[in-house]
Structure 1
Amino acid sequence: MKKVWLITGCSTGFGRELSTYLLAQGYPVAVAARKTEDIKDIVEGFPETALSLKLDVTKPAEIKTSVQQALDKFGRIDVLVNNAGIGYFGAVEESEDEAVRNMFEINFFGLANMTKEVLPAMRKQRSGHIVNIASIGGLVSFPAVGFYNATKYAVDGLSEALAKETAPLGIKVTIVAPSGFRTDWAGRSANNSPVVIEDYAATAGANKDSIRGYSGNQPGDPKLAAIAIVKAVESAEPPLRLLLGAAALKGARNKLELLKKDFDTWEETTVGADSPKA
């Protein structure tokens, strides 16, 4: 029996490609987006296996309704993919509180609330898989996206704790950390701070322009990412962290080296902070 998937943020990017691929492979899929007209073309032709859901992850009532609708149609939810998310460009000092808080509501709290709503059904089944779409920016930080990094670090931290809590219950967790992919993330799915401070032009400003200018030409293919995610979920031993893209792998390995350098260099000071044993 094929797993039942519920995927958020399916109007574009990973969500669109993943739901399209899964339905073509015969999987039952609850396809969610803020506007159902944006996913009409995905679900057409799959009356038995596709369910279109109107879902804004910042609205608890819509989360509750969507999960219940998926359970009513399919009887279970085997895989939840928390994909809905947005970006935001600005140096830390340039970033506006309202925009940052809105990004946290979508990228982190929306993901957390979706997870909490699905977990009771998975606990009852004693099986399930939570797939959280994070970013290499949840492991490695970059100028101009510090607060975006913060949302993804939060997703990573929550997911790792969740994996340890749910493993004895038969529920698995995978954090997907992509690098640059040809999605709308660096286009219409990310706003710029209107505040510009010239002192950050060579760091945050330069990186923002580089990312924006690269949009649409990233090496990552969302269709191949969808296949990779399904492969990981269907594997006997799925990874806790699934890096996607050569740049993600390179960035993560560089981060490991930097961490090791600091840890080793400051080992004596680190250990010396403990009280001597009596």
Structure 2
Amino acid sequence: MSKVIFITGATRGFGKIWAEAFLKRGDRVVATGRSIEALQELKDKYGDLVLPLQLDVNDRKASFEAVNKAKEHFGRIDVLINNAGYGLFGTIEETSEEEARKQMETNFFGVLWLSQAVLPIMREQKSGHIIQVSSFLGLITLPVLGLYNASKFAVEGFSETLATEVKGFGINVSLVEPNGYTTDWSGESAVQTKSMSIYDPVKQAFSEATATPGIFGKPEATAAVILKLTDAPEPPLRLLLGSFAYPAVKKVYEERLASFEEWKSVSEEAHGA
């Protein structure tokens, strides 16, 4: 049975690749993006299987309206994939208020609004799957991406909570956590802060670390994985994507646990008698 998939940020990168993967197997896709023109290619190729909608996920009202249009058009929404987002590159001190707020508006609040909008529909259906495109940087951090890290940590926290709240309605929540991929996430889509030369050594170290051969995955390789995720009867809460995500996360979590253990007696002392 074909599914109805609602995907944000479907004009390029993961969003476009995944939209095509669903369409090729006969699913119906609500493809959203800031530019309706950029979605025309999908419409021309797949016709009535696609409902293209212009959407700025920062606009809560527009997000609810888009979800309602999708429901009216296809009759249901089986899967929501919150993919829209971008990277903000720069150190914490360099980041302006406007840059910080815009990063959180898109990467966190945009995800929140769409999740809220789709819940009444999925509750009524007694089924649904909300997939949040987070990052392995929602579990660990890298320098020069502080606000991006923060936005993904926020998505992780609210989505884990959401999963416990809606499981009884037949709704699953999954967090997809890719390592770096060769999309334009760090290129045309990215925003750069105004640089302070004092941080040049930090940025140089970051550049050298991310220049490791093979560190970036191939976006096309994720398509089959996303199909498997949406088809799973019991999908996981978290799914790391890429070869580098797991060892990086494992190392940091082992270090955290060791530090907790080292300071355990002090932690217990703080509880009081």
Q: Tell me, yes or no, whether TM beats 0.5.
A: yes
The separation in 1 between residues aligned to 2:63 and 2:153, in whole angstroms, is 23
After TM superposition, the score normalised by the length of structure 2 is 0.95
Maintained 8 Å contact 1:144/1:205 = no
Kindly state the Cα deviation for residue 62 of structure 1 after the two structures are TM-superposed. 2.1
Moved over 6 A (4+): none
Name the aligned partner's letter for residue 119 of structure 1.
L
* Alignment-derived partner of residue 103 in structure 2: 103
Instruction: Check 1:208–1:158 CA distance in 2 against 1; reply closer, same or farther (3 A cut).
Output: farther
Q: Aligned to 2:45, what secondary structure does the other structure show?
A: coil
Q: Aligned to 1:44, what secondary structure does the other structure show?
A: helix
The separation in 2 between residues aligned to 1:153 and 1:232, in whole angstroms, is 21
Q: Is 1:263 the equivalent of 2:260? A: yes
Kindly state the Cα deviation for residue 59 of structure 1 after the two structures are TM-superposed. 1.5
The separation in 2 between residues aligned to 1:166 and 1:224, in whole angstroms, is 30
* Alignment-derived partner of residue 164 in structure 1: 164
* Alignment-derived partner of residue 219 in structure 1: 216
Kindly state the Cα deviation for residue 182 of structure 1 after the two structures are TM-superposed. 1.1
The separation in 2 between residues aligned to 1:116 and 1:65, in whole angstroms, is 12
Q: Is 1:140 the equivalent of 2:140? A: yes
The separation in 2 between residues aligned to 1:147 and 1:180, in whole angstroms, is 17
Kindly state the Cα deviation for residue 188 of structure 1 after the two structures are TM-superposed. 1.0
The separation in 1 between residues aligned to 2:56 and 2:97, in whole angstroms, is 21
Kindly state the Cα deviation for residue 237 of structure 1 after the two structures are TM-superposed. 1.8
Matches within 5 A, 1:63-212: 63-198=63-198, 200-207=199-206, 211=210
Kindly state the Cα deviation for residue 205 of structure 1 after the two structures are TM-superposed. 4.7
* Alignment-derived partner of residue 26 in structure 2: 26
Kindly state the Cα deviation for residue 47 of structure 1 after the two structures are TM-superposed. 2.4
Q: Aligned to 2:6, what secondary structure does the other structure show?
A: strand
Give unpaired runs (5+ residues) of structure 1: none
Identity of aligned residues (%): 38
The separation in 2 between residues aligned to 1:8 and 1:95, in whole angstroms, is 26
* Alignment-derived partner of residue 243 in structure 2: 246
Q: CA RMSD in A?
A: 1.7
The separation in 2 between residues aligned to 1:226 and 1:76, in whole angstroms, is 23
The separation in 1 between residues aligned to 2:196 and 2:231, in whole angstroms, is 46
Q: Is 1:56 the equivalent of 2:69? A: no
Pick from 264, 269, 272: which aligns with 2:269?
Answer: 272
Kindly state the Cα deviation for residue 251 of structure 1 after the two structures are TM-superposed. 1.1
The separation in 2 between residues aligned to 1:257 and 1:133, in whole angstroms, is 24
Kindly state the Cα deviation for residue 190 of structure 1 after the two structures are TM-superposed. 1.0
Name the aligned partner's letter for residue 21 of structure 1.
A
The separation in 2 between residues aligned to 1:259 and 1:3, in whole angstroms, is 40
The separation in 2 between residues aligned to 1:119 and 1:214, in whole angstroms, is 41
What number of residue pairs does the alignment pair up?
273
Kindly state the Cα deviation for residue 209 of structure 1 after the two structures are TM-superposed. 7.0
Kindly state the Cα deviation for residue 204 of structure 1 after the two structures are TM-superposed. 3.7
Q: Aligned to 2:80, what secondary structure does the other structure show?
A: strand
> 102-111 or 201-210, which moves further after superposition?
201-210
Maintained 8 Å contact 1:89/1:208 = no
After TM superposition, the score normalised by the length of structure 1 is 0.94
* Alignment-derived partner of residue 44 in structure 1: 44
Name the aligned partner's letter for residue 154 of structure 1.
A
Maintained 8 Å contact 2:85/2:107 = yes
Deviations 1:209-239 (A, max 9, x none): 765x689x75312122122122012112211
Maintained 8 Å contact 1:31/1:43 = no
* Alignment-derived partner of residue 8 in structure 2: 8
